[in-house]
Amino acid sequence: MTASARRLLTESPRLSDAGDANPAWHPILADLQNSLPSQAYHTWFEPLQAFLSPEEMLLVEVPSRFYYEWIEGHYADLLDHVLEARLGNRNALQYILSSSGALNLEPEPAPVPDMVPPVSNGHTLTNGSGDSRNGLNPRYTFDRFIEGPPNRFARAASLAVAQSPGATSYNPLLIYGGVGLGKTHLLQAIGNAAQQQFPDQKVRYISSERFTKEFVEAIKANRGDRFSAHYRNVDLLLMDDVQFLVGRDRTLMEFFHIFNNLYQAGKQIVLSSDKPPKELNGLDERLVSRFGWGLVCDIGPPDFDTRVAIIETLSEHERVPLDMDVIEYLATRFTNNVRDIQGALIRLVAHASLTGTDISLDLAKKALHDLVGTHKRKVSVDRVQRIVATHYNVAPDLLMAKLRSQPIARARMIAMALALRLCHLSLKQVGANFGGRDHTTVLHARDRVIQWEDEDKEFASELKELIRHIESDED
């Protein structure tokens, strides 16, 4: 690794506040393309997307820590040079982990509908599978979705909905499951299949984060009405990751109205969430009960045979031939989700091309040894509490107590917010771990900490350091 100060940020800044990075990023990409062998450019740089942080920092999204290390390990000098030339500062770029990890397979973010001038010729705005404004990425299809027992039901329901949107009893269809299990893939596949079969229908895929961002922007620009009208006008709404609407009261209200409108008009709604509806604490209960009006189905982690099938398909698609012993090694070691499997494969391929060797079981063991077994580790609430308490010099027990003195209350809020970010728990579960506080208290802590991060740079870096410590092996 070089002396570069370009970092991989462990906690992504809120990109919903970010601006358009392309005017800065595209010239940098062009320079890189001119300086690199085309294979290297296409493999490592072309797929990357950049965002602009509120501080005007270029944030480049990478699919894994390994990817970041690779780029900085191999191209740091070139990046120094290009960044100096283009931005006058070699450290004006930092990296963030993409929230969904799968390189090159992410849906294109759809532009804000309100930015698009209205059309007067009667043609709809979102028609046609070639129109990126429906938010669909053609890579995600049913063909590419490998079926197995844990996803069979969700897949079948998705297929039924795609074939007759709005005309099945699966309205809304809600698919829930952990990260990397194929929720986005299925939502996108529904959209692609429906759009292909019914080119005149208005299909719209959107993540709830992006929906929130668009809504906030529309309100700011006094275009709330056009925003509503746009969404009330779709035939098939695919809303990904609804759990991110928790705590966004105004956006939720807007979504609630859109939902009712579409539902009453017999339009199809498909939603995904990382947990079952009843655990979506903090969402409007009326909305949660409506989620149950249609069909709710879950996706579980793939079983062994499905994992093998997924790896085989990936290796075919990526034209990386793999022996059966390597496939079985991957399928035995990476059991959590499909995204981890893809990450392992990318890394394996990179190692093989670096060392100029064929992919073998030996190479797989060498290349992946540090991922195996560690990719499952979750941070415990205990650990968060202990490290935060020590850092702020308070007794860990006090984080659970009712005491409200200033320094304790502040440390407690920080610990709650970090537990929420790092421990994969619901608001309710975090509250329960802090002396039985309720989910609104946790929500409040989350928002306050975000606010402090925004207002106070020193606090923001203190928090980053805390996160790094918590996620490390140090005591």
**Residues within the interface to Mg ion (CB under 5 A):** 183-184
Instruction: Give percent helix, percent strand, percent coil of the chain, each to the nearest 5.
Output: 55, 10, 35
Between 182 and 294, whose beta carbon lies closer to ligand ADP? 182
The pair phi, psi for residue 293, each rounded to 5°, is -70, -30
Report the partner that residue 182 touches, choosing among Mg ion, ligand ADP, none (CB closer than 5 to 8 A by kind): ligand ADP
- The mark string for 391-430 relative to ligand ADP (x by CB under 6 A, - otherwise) is ----------------------------------------
- Distances in Å between the Cα of 397 and the Cα atoms of 414, 434, 452 are 15, 9, 24
Given the rule CB under 6 A, which of 121-129, 226-234, 336-344, 423-431 is the region that contacts ligand ADP? 336-344
Out of 166, 180, 247, 343, which residue is the one contacting ligand ADP (CB under 6 A)?
A: 180
Between 233 and 273, whose beta carbon lies closer to ligand ADP? 273
Out of 83, 102, 415, 419, which residue is the one contacting ligand ADP (CB under 6 A)?
A: 102
Exposed / middle / buried, residue 420 (Cβ in 10 Å: 0-12, 13-18, 19+): buried
Q: Answer yes or no whether residue 194 interacts with ligand ADP by CB under 6 A.
A: no
CA nearest 139: which of 110, 102, 100? 102
How far does CA 262 lie from the centroid of its chain? 26
Find the shortest distance in angstroms from Cβ 365 to ligand ADP.
23
Find the shortest distance in angstroms from Cβ 294 to ligand ADP.
19
Give ∠ CA 25-464-343 in degrees, rounded to 5.
Answer: 60
Exposed / middle / buried, residue 443 (Cβ in 10 Å: 0-12, 13-18, 19+): buried
Q: Answer yes or no whether residue 67 interacts with ligand ADP by CB under 6 A.
A: no
Given the rule CB under 6 A, which of 183-191, 247-255, 411-419, 431-439 is the region that contacts ligand ADP? 183-191
Task: Name the helix (H) or strand (E) containing 196.
Answer: helix 183-197
Q: Answer yes or no whether residue 310 interacts with ligand ADP by CB under 6 A.
A: yes
Residue carrying the six token digits 């820590």: 65
Between 146 and 445, whose beta carbon lies closer to ligand ADP? 146
Out of 53, 126, 137, 151, which residue is the one contacting ligand ADP (CB under 6 A)?
A: 151
Which alpha helices (H) appear in 221-369, and where do they start and end?
A: 224-232, 249-264, 285-291, 304-317, 324-333, 338-355, 361-368
Positions that interact with ligand ADP (CB under 6 A): 100, 102, 105, 144-146, 151, 177, 179-185, 310, 338-339, 342
